[in-house]
Amino acid sequence: MLPRIENYEDLYCEFRWRIPQRFNIGVAVSDAWAARDPGRVCLEHFSPDGAHLSLTYAEFAARSSAFAAGLAARGIRPGDRVAILLPQGFEAAIAHTAIYKLGAIALPLALLFGVEALAYRLRDAEAAAIVTNRFGYERVAAIRDDLSDLRLVVLAEAEELPGTVRFDRLISGEERFTAADTTPDDPALMIYTSGTTGPPKGALHGHRVLPGHLPGFQFHHHFLPQPGDRMWTPADWAWAGGLLNALLPSLFFGVPVVSSPAQKFDPHMAFRIMQDMDVRNAFIPPTALRLLRSVERPRERYRLNLRTIGSAGEALGRETYEWAKAALGIEVSEFYGQTECNIVMDDEGYFTFFGRDDDVITSSGYRIGPGEIEDCLVGHPDVQMAAAVGRPDPIRTEIVKAYVVLRPGVAAGEGTAADIREWVKNRLSMHEYPREIEFVDSLPLTTSGKVIRQLLRERTVAEGMASVAMGS
């Protein structure tokens, strides 16, 4: 974590990594706070009917310890992979914390995954147990015969289902549990990549993954914690962004975390959650921020108390940054992660994110990053979302093709496409404007909210081959 210095230059000079020799994520985010401030609220759950729920650190520590003891009593051992297939909520936070305390390895999985995606990850990770709800249970039941390592299914429902143990029975058991005496390098978390460029890969993280995130987290949220801070993210906690840029760091710093029901992202509901739960800090992926732009004059329509917004997952873009600054009064802090990114540092030490190497479009000898084009496209008043890819071209190698989602009420047609092309042509270089525009209802997204450009590229190539075949 950062030293208590709120001056950038002094902070830069004084910063040193201080990783303790013994560290356990589960203890750090629950037991440590329960010992010094047991009545402090750590989790709050938003309910559309206003019946919001809350949990204190004392309750959180007790339930996670009981859950860890319950897992151990049913044969789960340190090093075992335990999958979590749950939406945001108390159960997901308790399961994560219990698994870390036990010394097992948490394997977060998104509820959006289909049967094949789940089967691949559960088999590849050799998961010994899974914690899920009825929605997830139905998918797991369909593939359970193919999961030879799976020994335990914990169900976060009130009903009994075949081959399961109820979640509430585990958390109501023995609360005294001695957490594993882990080092920062002991494995704690396995997160699968989103599969943007190929088969998903399980990335194994030690307990040091949390302290490793803390300095950047604090800096992006302007020296969090501050009085009244409260965190919310629409991102799935199964994604590294939702888990490590929102849930776990906030719990570590004693900042309450707001959870919300799983549903398709709705801009008005997002603003209502931030209003009703008095959210001060938010982690909102760029795609969700662009969707929020559909709400006009949000600070007039909603009572917002936002102090900071962090964003990550793909390039934020100047247009979205400027919109947030004007409409929300917030300068969004952009995180970046260590993927196949092209990042340039200027002479003053500032970073500019250009995009993934495999997203680069090669046209007439120019190498073009899609981020700048997409940022320009969403600045057009008729465009809600956009993605740019390269379409094979016999003369230019590739041309820029844009897939565009229009704002509600805007008619698709050649006139609109021509206006959008002219918009980009007048703002960027001549070689960057999209020579081809296709209007679509939606864009393919990963579970972490990133545009799956690989699918769009494959679609574009297939269309090109089909047109060549028809012309021959």
Terminus-to-terminus CA distance in the chain, angstroms? Answer: 64
Structure confidence by residue, pLDDT tens digits, 123-179: 999 999 999 999 999 999 999 999 999 999 999 998 888 999 999 999 987 778 999
Angle at 246 between CA 244 and CA 248, to 5 degrees: 60
Instruction: Categorise residue 89: left if φ over 0, alpha if ψ from -120 to 50, beta otherwise.
Output: left
The domain over range 21-263 is classified in CATH as 3.40.50.2000: no
Structure confidence by residue, pLDDT tens digits, 22-56: 999 999 999 999 999 999 999 999 999 999 999 99
What is the distance between the alpha carbons of residues 143 and 48, in angstroms, rounded to a whole number? 34
Q: What are phi and psi of 401, to 5 degrees?
A: -115, 135
Q: Are 234 and 309 in contact (CB under 8 A)?
A: no
Q: Give residue limits of the domains in the chain.
A: 21-263, 358-471
DSSP string for 84-134: EE--SSHHHHHHHHHHHHHT-EEEE--TT--HHHHHHHHHHHT-SEEEE-H
Give the tokens for residue 294.
């559909």
Amino acid at 153: V
Q: Beta strand pairing status for 397-406 and 383-393?
A: antiparallel
Residue 191 CB: number of other CB atoms within 10 A?
Answer: 21
Give the tokens for residue 330.
């917030």
Amino acid at 464: G
The domain over range 358-471 is classified in CATH as 3.40.50.20: no
Please tell me which residue, 290 or 309, carries the higher pLDDT value: 309
What is the distance between the alpha carbons of residues 456 and 154, in angstroms, rounded to a whole number? 38
CATH fold match for the domains 21-263 and 358-471: no
Mean pLDDT of the residues in the chain: 89
What is the distance between the alpha carbons of residues 105 and 182, in angstroms, rounded to a whole number? 12
What is the distance between the alpha carbons of residues 115 and 122, in angstroms, rounded to a whole number? 10
The pTM assigned to this predicted structure is 0.83
